[in-house]
Structure 1
Amino acid sequence: MAEEVHASLTEYLKKYFGFSSFKGNQEAIIQNVLEGKDTFVLMPTGGGKSLCYQLPALKMEGTAIVISPLIALMKNQVDAMRSFIEGDGIAHFLNSSLSKTAVAKVKQDILEGRTKLLYVAPESLTKEDNIQFLKQINISFYAIDEAHCISEWGHDFRPEYRRIRPIITEIGKAPLIALTATATPKVQHDIQKNLGMLDATVFKSSFNRANLYYEVRPKQDATKEIIKFIKANSGKSGIIYCLSRKKVEELADALKVNGIKAVPYHAGLDSNSRSENQDKFLMEETDVVVATIAFGMGIDKPDVRYVIHYDIPKSLEGYYQETGRAGRDGGEGNCIAFYSYKDIQKLEKFMHGKPIAEQEIGKQLLQDTVSYAESSVCRRKTLLLYFGEDYTQENCGNCDNCLNPKELFDGKDAILKTLDVIVELQEKFKADHVVNFLVGNATSGIKTYKHHTNELFGIGKEKDEKYWNGIIRQMLIHHLLTKDIENYGLLKISPRGRAFMEEPYSIMMAKDHDYGDSDDDEAAGTGAGKGGGAADEALFSLLKDLRKSMSKKLGLPPFVLFQDPSLEDMSIQYPISMEELQNITGVGVGKAKKYGKEFIELIKKYVEENEIERPQDMVVKSVVNKSGNKVFIIQSIDKRMDLEDIANAKGMDMKDLLSEMEAIVNSGTRINLDYYINEHVDEDKLDEVFDYFKNEAKTESIEEALDFLGEDDYTEEEVRLIRIKFISEMGN
């Protein structure tokens, strides 16, 4: 009998879906649904979840109700089903996008028994006329897709999902199958409890996607890095995720200007534009989609070769699901995230004003993301542990941490101190409290419990918070600690941890990454250079010599011609035309025309003599600043507006405005600040600082200027203003 069922299931699979064998748990899941049992499916993206309800729906009497969160996703799945089976009536969706006529047609097909799958959004399910209609039909089973939306601990919580259970109880009892690609043990429990299916058969596939390469990079010149990566992977499909609509538009524009086929996708676009851009990606008319998280749920494109996170996501679940859209065919899949702690702080700010419970959940999820980004342990190990799965290999060979391992140290003493503190705190606190206790930070939380008076308080003060956070992360990986599922985040000592306390042994641990104060693109290119290290040292030296001889001839300090970051960029990009020179960091049209000729000639000669293959495709063109800051500032200075008023009009502080003005004059545009400087800076100071930059300064450094002039006599703001005047008048 079992063989007959197997034969008939395989026949169905071949006949309707064109596959000759099932993947992973698919067959067992389908069998469970056919037997009328509640089923919980935890299967990573690309594992074939849809088939788990589509095939049994075709086989069973009646109509399966599939509850799904996105209109675009429903449309895709309905189109797919109709392509498998003749007759449009086989699958339908009911949502707000349909006209009355279309709704009537859907209902007619269902009542006449033609429809095997009906996709509905949870909002549509709650409408009274839909409830009354569904009561009349024979329902084979309910499938709840993207079930993580039920849980407040999930990365895409939707309150309407929590109303599904009472509604389906009202419509009529039928078996349930809940499916999700991402769920921590906490989220899984939450889903089953909310749907009243704690007794369901659970099918959990491995979360390991061996073909995906994971890497976290510091967020420095991220746009330039992304363009270089895409050009090195020309013709391949990719998705780039940003957290804001504004950044999506800016980045998509930057890619297009640099000859990359890219389209934006976010909720602010009208539905036609969104559908059009999604179709362009699926039909390979465009290579890259730059998107907010609104894009990708259920997008069944097997050959996405890279997923880049310009901004680190709000949770590891979100990150896992988004990276899971790469390499679904088992082929190459590069997952690169740009990380700056400043982004985490921005996300924390967004939480203010939300209910306290929601803020607590959000902060915990963010903390897990920070742990992933900063840890130098195998990325796979960290990700899989988050989903309650052990990855036993020491080195996965397919992540940045395994390919470039960090220095190891014996963590035995640090582990013992941490365990002693957790015992002392009676296993009732989260990691941040334990870390504050270890380093001796008398925070308000510590004082509330009078823990600053405990004799162990500050037992680990010889190290900083970063060190102890790293120790706790690795103790979780080694199963010496666990996080309480019900009280998310409370640290508990595992049986293995207690055994370790009885008989300690050496455990080698890795030092965490220190990404420091990574600059995002907004901060880059304002004259504050970054040591690249990839520059052609010989060319860099020749360019510096040329700058020196030209500066002597012109009677100007060398930095007025081109600053070091510009020379460094020239020695990476090898520009040999005016147009290419204008795309170099800190070089505008004016500066290129005024001083560029000799530099271009030198580079051209150097390239020819040394037979250098230029990375012309790596010359990153910048988009005209759409925000209009540059134009607004220049026009406002022409109108002699007070600088404070200019800054306020653009929501900047004075330091930001100074940086913008420095970028303007450094790239060769003149601005006249005399009206403001004469009113705010003493005449003697003006002469002295101007004279310093003309005759004494070896570099453009403000620190060196303040050292020379005397920090007590001059403010940083005064020196920066006069330097702007000096470069504008002498260099532009």
Structure 2
Amino acid sequence: MDQAREQLREVFGFGDFRGRQAEVVERVMDGCSTLGVMPTGAGKSLTYQLPATLLHGTCIVISPLIALMHDQLRAARANGIRAATLTSADADWRETMDAFRAGALDLLYVAPERASQPSFCDLLTAAPLAMFAIDEAHCVSEWGHDFRPDYRQLRPLMDRFGDVPRLALTATADAHTRSDIMAQLGIPDEGLVVAGFERPNIRYAIRHRDNPVRQLTQLMEDHPGPGIIYAPTRRKVEDLAAKLAAATGRPVLPYHAGLEPGTRARHQAEFVASEEVVMVATIAFGMGIDKPDVRFVAHAGIPKSIEAYYQETGRAGRDGDPAQATMLWGAEDFARARMRLAEMPEDRREGDRKRLDTLANLVETAGCRRAILLRHFGEDPPQTCGNCDNCLDAPEVIDATEVARKFLSAAYRTGQSFGFGHLQKVLTGADDERVLAKGHDHLTVFGIVEGEEAALLRPVSRALQARGALVATEHGGLTLGGDARDILKGEASVLMVKPPKQARRGRKSRSGSSGGGVNPVGDPLFDALRELRRQLAIEGQVPPYLIFHDATLREFTATRPATLAEMGSIAGVGAKKLDAYGEQFLDCIRQH
């Protein structure tokens, strides 16, 4: 491990390991198979890249997406690591295979589809192997949120090389999924290393979706750096991208599977290389992006699951700087999600229902968002985190049980086939032609809600749908479900956040006030260093963050190194980067 720490300093430019990196690296160096569960941004890739530079043979990295492999390839080569990819998009596959056979590669990245082919297994017999690294390992589990059947074929391949250690890595796996991953990949129980799920630099906020273009425009104004906005459909992606570009004047690009492949690739390349582009995308986008300086991730609707939410919001702030995660939700999101539950295989339905209930609890809670998230993954967090909307601006909680009982009663007595608008008219005693035609003006629930209670009907309806007590039918009607009967009988209560009189602007979430400004001190040297980095990135045709992260540039600004030796002692400055860029950054510092 002394040698590993020297290599960490020399190649990657870091003085020591973070979190439980050292434990994972030590197990790998000792030849022990391991599952590392580490939060996004905790340096998972270092746990196989570093040993690969020290061990005899090549590390075979199984990764699910070509874009992700190419991002990691660029990052590895920027640090002087001998790396290559073997994918359908690579024209130099012959040279790569020759380099592997010659023992000239530290890392070889492949997709699971290729790894499961007999020809690839034959190739691996031609040179020594240091280890197998399985990235995004939750894809191997049917309980994971991104199940990929080809991951199931990795065990037979690795068993052919039984003495080669295996390192599986994921940021997103609850206890059930972790157990399944280890069983599927042949990793012993003692090989589990859980580094935790906490991402303290991310600020979580969840709002009801009332005017998404206005709400997202405000978010983009508050956070001027790169961002990702997830939308539920291709049509919504296109619509939001166009409207946000017009409203903000910022570069906003769409991304979804229906775009022409060349357009998709171009938009992704622009996003990766830029320091201001916002991508509006379906969930098809993101896993293949290893961009550390994403300043915000927004959801224009609820994600598929609590695991998906954690994974997607985890794409913000990988560089450790403050970042924002905002979700905008509506009752119709939960209605669609509960309809999808009914279409799922029965053996998965209960687990997915629990995940959706956890998501509903996250949305509806008046307590700490982070605590709910972390408890889902088996952690025991503090009651408050100090960095989510509810902890920063505690909402008022009201008992809406009586209004909820009236609403549920109206849904039941009208035959469980009418939507919110009709039920609202019945409850408030509206002189409505359809209400009269149906005879609903003669029901005991007609006109029993007025005044302040009437203002609570819509938020109560949302809350009941989120928790599953009301379920929307395919024709838009509302039917009783979940614990509706317990609420009607007085055996369950409905506590909810009191709706604000008007939408809060969320000043506390602004990047400047939360310490997340790119240049919080306003030093002109920092801006000059960023401009130099931008020019070098254009010349080298690489993303700016592959040269130096903002955190490293801030350290340059604060310490103003005068020599290469002084610059080389700063975190993030490895030997190859110092040699490639050191003098130019020193010149810039001297000019200031």
TM-score of the two chains, using structure 2 as the length reference: 0.67
Which of 308, 315, 326 is equivalent to 2:298?
Answer: 308
The structure having more radius of gyration, on CA atoms, is: 1
C-alpha distance 327-128 of structure 1, shift in aligned 2 (>3 A): same
User: 2: distance between equivalents of 1:227 and 1:55?
Assistant: 41
Which of 62, 73, 82 is equivalent to 1:78?
Answer: 73
C-alpha distance 126-343 of structure 1, shift in aligned 2 (>3 A): same
Confirm or deny: 8 A CA contact 1:132 1:171 kept in the other structure. Answer: no
User: 2: distance between equivalents of 1:345 and 1:13?
Assistant: 50
What does the per-residue CA deviation read over 1:319-369, in whole Å, with 9 as the maximum and x for residues that have no partner? 111111222232221111011121122233345544332444433322221
User: 2: distance between equivalents of 1:27 and 1:316?
Assistant: 29
Verify: 1:512 aligned to 2:496, yes or no.
yes
User: 2: distance between equivalents of 1:173 and 1:213?
Assistant: 44
1:95 is matched with 87
User: 2: distance between equivalents of 1:150 and 1:310?
Assistant: 28
Which of 22, 25, 31 is equivalent to 1:30?
Answer: 25
User: 1: distance between equivalents of 2:496 and 2:128?
Assistant: 57
Equivalent position SS for 2:295: strand
Verify: 1:180 aligned to 2:148, yes or no.
no
What does the per-residue CA deviation read over 1:374-422, in whole Å, with 9 as the maximum and x for residues that have no partner? 1222111100001100112x32221122223345799xxxxxxxxxxxx
User: 2: distance between equivalents of 1:268 and 1:249?
Assistant: 11
Task: Give me the CA root mean square deviation.
Answer: 3.0
Confirm or deny: 8 A CA contact 2:112 2:150 kept in the other structure. Answer: yes
Unaligned 5+ runs, structure 1: 411-431, 437-441, 447-456, 468-510, 516-529, 536-732
- Paired residue total: 429
Equivalent position SS for 1:344: helix
2:385 is matched with 396
User: 2: distance between equivalents of 1:351 and 1:96?
Assistant: 36
Verify: 1:45 aligned to 2:40, yes or no.
yes
1:154 is matched with 144
Task: Measure how far apart 1:107 and its partner are.
Answer: 0.9
Equivalent position SS for 1:190: helix
2:51 is matched with 56
C-alpha distance 465-220 of structure 1, shift in aligned 2 (>3 A): farther
1:15 is matched with 10
Confirm or deny: 8 A CA contact 1:307 1:323 kept in the other structure. Answer: yes
Verify: 1:242 aligned to 2:231, yes or no.
yes
Verify: 1:332 aligned to 2:322, yes or no.
yes
C-alpha distance 224-54 of structure 1, shift in aligned 2 (>3 A): same
Equivalent position SS for 1:22: coil
User: 2: distance between equivalents of 1:247 and 1:409?
Assistant: 34
C-alpha distance 200-74 of structure 1, shift in aligned 2 (>3 A): farther
Equivalent position SS for 1:300: coil
2:422 is matched with none
Moved more, 396-405 or 119-128: 396-405
User: 1: distance between equivalents of 2:170 and 2:257?
Assistant: 23
Task: Measure how far apart 1:312 and its partner are.
Answer: 0.8
Residue identity in the other structure for 2:292: P
Confirm or deny: 8 A CA contact 2:398 2:496 kept in the other structure. Answer: no
C-alpha distance 349-160 of structure 1, shift in aligned 2 (>3 A): same
Task: Measure how far apart 1:278 and its partner are.
Answer: 2.0
2:544 is matched with none
Confirm or deny: 8 A CA contact 1:134 1:171 kept in the other structure. Answer: no
- 1:119-138 mapped onto 2 (5 Å cutoff): 119-138=109-128
What does the per-residue CA deviation read over 1:241-291, in whole Å, with 9 as the maximum and x for residues that have no partner? 112222111111111222121111222223332232222222226421111
- 1:246-257 mapped onto 2 (5 Å cutoff): 246-257=235-246
C-alpha distance 123-33 of structure 1, shift in aligned 2 (>3 A): same
C-alpha distance 225-165 of structure 1, shift in aligned 2 (>3 A): same
Residue identity in the other structure for 1:242: A
C-alpha distance 200-298 of structure 1, shift in aligned 2 (>3 A): farther
C-alpha distance 513-532 of structure 1, shift in aligned 2 (>3 A): closer
User: 2: distance between equivalents of 1:461 and 1:379?
Assistant: 28
Greater relative contact order structure (CA < 8 Å, 6+ sep): 2
User: 2: distance between equivalents of 1:330 and 1:444?
Assistant: 43
- 1:535-550 mapped onto 2 (5 Å cutoff): none
User: 1: distance between equivalents of 2:503 and 2:57?
Assistant: 66
Identity %: 40
Equivalent position SS for 1:275: helix
Moved more, 346-355 or 333-342: 346-355
Task: Measure how far apart 1:298 and its partner are.
Answer: 5.2
C-alpha distance 383-98 of structure 1, shift in aligned 2 (>3 A): same
User: 1: distance between equivalents of 2:493 and 2:31?
Assistant: 51
TM-score of the two chains, using structure 1 as the length reference: 0.55
User: 2: distance between equivalents of 1:131 and 1:213?
Assistant: 45
User: 2: distance between equivalents of 1:38 and 1:212?
Assistant: 31
User: 1: distance between equivalents of 2:44 and 2:66?
Assistant: 18
Task: Measure how far apart 1:163 and its partner are.
Answer: 2.1
Task: Measure how far apart 1:144 and its partner are.
Answer: 0.7
- 1:627-706 mapped onto 2 (5 Å cutoff): none
Residue identity in the other structure for 1:42: V
Verify: 1:275 aligned to 2:254, yes or no.
no
Unaligned 5+ runs, structure 2: 400-464, 470-478, 506-592
- 1:485-500 mapped onto 2 (5 Å cutoff): none
